[in-house]
Amino acid sequence: MSGLAGNQISPPAPDDDAALVDALLGKGLCAIAEDHLRQAGLAYDQTEVAEKHLAAAATAAPGHAAVLIGFYRFYFYKGRLREALAVADLCLEKACRDNRLPMDWRRVKSSDASFSDYGEMLPRFFMFTLKGYAYLNLRLGDVTEGLAAVEKLLELDPSDKIGARVLLEVIERASQDDDG
pLDDT tens per residue across span 68-119 = 999 999 999 999 999 999 999 999 999 999 999 999 999 999 999 999 887 8
User: How far is residue 39's CA from residue 73's CA, in Å, rounded to a whole number?
Assistant: 14
pTM for this structure? 0.83
DSSP state of 103: S
What would the mean pLDDT of 44-70 be, rounded to a whole number? 95
What Cα–Cα distance (Å) separates residue 56 from each residue in 25, 31, 39, 63, 64?
18, 12, 10, 12, 12
Question: Which of residues 95 and 7 earns the better pLDDT score?
Answer: 95
Mean per-residue pLDDT of the chain: 86
